[in-house]
């Protein structure tokens, strides 16, 4: 092992930093998630088609998707603590612009600014979580992701209670959240900078191992499988967050506010699933948790288009609980595949998450215009079946050299 490439990690988990970075993630993702939650208002105020709504989602997600991997790759060797508050500055500018956007073009420009802010936040904040987590990397990523999922969960409720009744200009209230996040990020960036100073700005962010235990071919196959997992997860989530409310309004004649509560149920259950993901992976193995989180969603997603309003709510809870349990586990698994590339992996996987969601949003918008909302929900319901590909992932024992306590010899074969 090259000892020059090892950064000294905190001796213990620094909970104050983890909770702070989780709060910022909450505020950022609440801001970002309120944009699709506001689609019904934006459609009415700017007279948009479903295809145009799809392009808003595409623009928001692809902006973050393209920029995040580059930021992660660059800061792996040149960490930049000041990027944390600067990124939220872009988000603040986007929020103010969204409140007053009077044309479709201006709306897209403001969405780009919010996307840039999110692109800066995720790889650097994930690195901070990795460092502050000490030896509890899985817990740290789960707590960080819990903040983001909490923000995503409260966005539909805020939209139903505040933004939809008060209209487009009410988005301006989220500038308070952005300013709060900037203040917290300034404090986090000081801790981050001090940590880098004491470790002499070593080139890797917390890596103990600098070479993978697997061959390049095996790593490539595993990374490809993980990307398919992300595809199934985030395109399906794009169908739900972008179009399920419209589907409920069309099929059951629900009000906009009532339909938003179904998304809230999906996402609030996802909060619990996210927090459970890390402990489940510690207990049953990362590969098994990834497999369960995608494939385990399929029975519920396939049943959803046939359910009445009551069972639709129940199924939304089940889908959120299972599907959202796996993302933080996927990130940590990928970081084990490519040790020493914390920022690159975080940027790549958060970027892919946004990018795949954006592509899915745009394509599903065209499908909704041409074939109807019910077709969108029925077709996307089969995406979790791609979880079957998780059988190709190396076991935890092969990946890390350690056996998960709950895994017997039959469950660790690769």
What is the average per-residue pLDDT within 57-68? 78
Residue with the bigger pLDDT between 386 and 302: it is 302
Residue with the bigger pLDDT between 270 and 138: it is 270
Q: What is the mean pLDDT of the chain?
A: 81
What is residue 63's predicted lDDT score, i.e. its pLDDT?
81
The pLDDT tens digits for 193-238 are 887 766 654 444 444 455 666 788 888 898 889 988 888 888 898 8
pLDDT higher than 80, residue 137: no
What is residue 315's predicted lDDT score, i.e. its pLDDT?
97
What is residue 39's predicted lDDT score, i.e. its pLDDT?
80
What is the average per-residue pLDDT within 373-398? 88
What is residue 194's predicted lDDT score, i.e. its pLDDT?
82
Q: What confidence tier does 327 reach under pLDDT thresholds 50, 70, 90?
A: confident
Q: Which helix (H) or strand (E) holds 133?
A: none
Question: Would you put residue 111 in left (φ > 0), alpha (ψ -120 to 50) or beta?
Answer: alpha
What is residue 188's predicted lDDT score, i.e. its pLDDT?
92
The pLDDT tens digits for 295-321 are 999 999 999 999 999 999 999 999 999
Residue with the bigger pLDDT between 336 and 409: it is 336
What is residue 411's predicted lDDT score, i.e. its pLDDT?
39
CA distance 281 to 171: 38
- Superfamily of structural domain 11-411: MFS general substrate transporter like domains (1.20.1250.20)
pLDDT higher than 90, residue 73: no
The pLDDT tens digits for 146-166 are 888 788 778 777 777 777 787
What is residue 212's predicted lDDT score, i.e. its pLDDT?
62
Give residues with Cβ within 8 angstroms of 15, minimum separation 6.
Answer: none
Q: Which of 129-133, 156-160, 405-409 has the lowest mean pLDDT?
A: 405-409
Give residues with Cβ within 8 angstroms of 262, minimum separation 6.
Answer: 244, 245, 248, 312, 313, 316
What is residue 66's predicted lDDT score, i.e. its pLDDT?
77
Residue with the bigger pLDDT between 79 and 288: it is 288
Residue with the bigger pLDDT between 31 and 182: it is 182
Residue 3 tokens, joined? 């000892």
What is the average per-residue pLDDT within 250-266? 88
What is residue 354's predicted lDDT score, i.e. its pLDDT?
66
The pLDDT tens digits for 233-244 are 888 988 898 889
The reported pTM is: 0.69
CA distance 143 to 199: 25
User: H/E/C letters for each residue in 271-299?
Assistant: HHHHHHHHHHHHHHCHHHHHHHHHHCCHH
Task: Give residue limits of the domains in the chain.
Answer: 11-411
pLDDT higher than 70, residue 85: yes
């Amino acid at each position: 092992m090259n000892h020059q490439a090892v950064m000294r990690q905190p001796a213990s988990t620094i909970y104050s930093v983890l909770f702070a970075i989780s709060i910022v993630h909450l505020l950022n993702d609440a801001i970002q998630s309120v944009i699709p939650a506001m689609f019904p208002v934006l459609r009415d105020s700017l007279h948009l088609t479903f295809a145009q709504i799809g392009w808003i989602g595409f623009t928001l997600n692809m902006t973050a998707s393209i920029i995040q991997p580059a930021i992660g790759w660059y800061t792996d060797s040149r960490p930049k603590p000041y990027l944390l508050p600067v990124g939220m500055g872009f988000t603040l500018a986007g929020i103010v612009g969204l409140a007053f956007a009077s044309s479709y073009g201006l709306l897209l420009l403001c969405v780009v600014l919010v996307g840039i802010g999110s692109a800066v936040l995720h790889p650097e904040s994930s690195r901070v979580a990795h460092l502050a987590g000490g030896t509890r990397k899985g817990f740290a990523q789960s707590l960080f992701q819990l903040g983001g999922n909490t923000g995503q969960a409260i966005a539909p409720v805020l939209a139903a209670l505040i933004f939809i009744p008060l209209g487009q200009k009410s988005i301006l209230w989220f500038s308070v959240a952005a300013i709060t996040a900037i203040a917290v990020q300034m404090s986090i960036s000081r801790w981050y900078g001090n940590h880098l100073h004491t470790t002499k700005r070593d080139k890797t962010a917390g890596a103990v191992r600098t070479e993978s235990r697997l061959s390049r071919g095996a790593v490539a196959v595993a990374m490809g499988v993980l990307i398919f997992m992300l595809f199934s997860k985030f395109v399906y989530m794009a169908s739900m967050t972008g179009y399920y409310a419209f589907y409920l309004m069309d099929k059951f004649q629900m009000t906009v506010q009532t339909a938003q509560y179904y998304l809230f149920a999906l996402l609030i259950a996802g909060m619990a699933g996210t927090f459970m993901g890390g402990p489940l992976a510690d207990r049953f193995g990362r590969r098994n948790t990834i497999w369960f989180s995608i494939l385990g969603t399929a029975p519920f997603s396939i049943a959803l288009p046939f359910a009445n309003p009551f069972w639709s709510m129940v199924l939304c809870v089940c889908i959120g609980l299972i599907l959202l349990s796996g993302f933080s586990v996927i990130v940590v698994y990928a970081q084990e595949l490519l040790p020493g590339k914390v920022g690159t992996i975080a940027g790549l996987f958060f970027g892919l998450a946004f990018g795949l969601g954006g592509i899915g949003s745009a394509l599903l918008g065209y499908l909704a215009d041409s074939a109807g909302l019910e077709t969108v929900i029925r077709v996307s319901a089969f995406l979790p079946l791609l979880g079957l590909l998780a059988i190709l992932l190396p076991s935890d024992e092969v990946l890390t050299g350690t056996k998960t306590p709950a895994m017997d010899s039959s469950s660790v074969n690769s």
